[in-house]
Amino acid sequence: MRAVVQRVSQAQVAVDEVCLGKIDCGFVVLLGIHQEDTIDDAHYLAKKIAQLRVFEDHEGKMNESLATIGGAVLSISQFTLYAQTKKGNRPSFIAAARPEVAEPLYEAFNQALREKNIPVATGKFGAEMQVSLINDGPVTILYDTREKE
């Protein structure tokens, strides 16, 4: 799984001009699922993001996590994170998981965050979505479960 995690002061997602999910302080997570990803990847990534300490403490240091600040996640499925761009000008998405594999793993990732008491808002899997956010910092972190260290 690949995740682009952006610290935000607010964010929302709409489909056909209808707001489906909205958060205040927290993370927007753009989540791409690889064809070989498993439930273990979903749980690993949820744990890493839930414990990510990039919110400022009372001394102005990035030392707080979502739980300590009462933050939330706006989770957006995004297969384009697995675009292959080495050849030509049209990206290939062959490495991205098919929807019948990706959607259950996306839901498992969201559920794993909820089980850690992190509120999660979502868009609609596979839909054309409009995501708007106010990036705070900006702070943007990249995760790839294929590169665990």
Q: Which residues are catalytic?
A: 78-80
- Choose among 110, 114, 117, 118: nearest CA to 76: 110
Instruction: Report CA-CA distances (Å) from 2 to 5, 13, 39, 78, 132.
Output: 10, 20, 14, 9, 20
Instruction: For residue 49, give both structure tokens.
Output: 């993001």
Contact present, 3 and 45 (Cβ < 8 Å): yes
Instruction: For residue 120, give both structure tokens.
Output: 């999660």
- Beta strands at 72-77 and 26-32: parallel, antiparallel or unpaired: parallel
Residue 47 phi, psi dihedral angles, 5° rounding: -65, -45
- Choose among 15, 41, 144: nearest CA to 102: 41
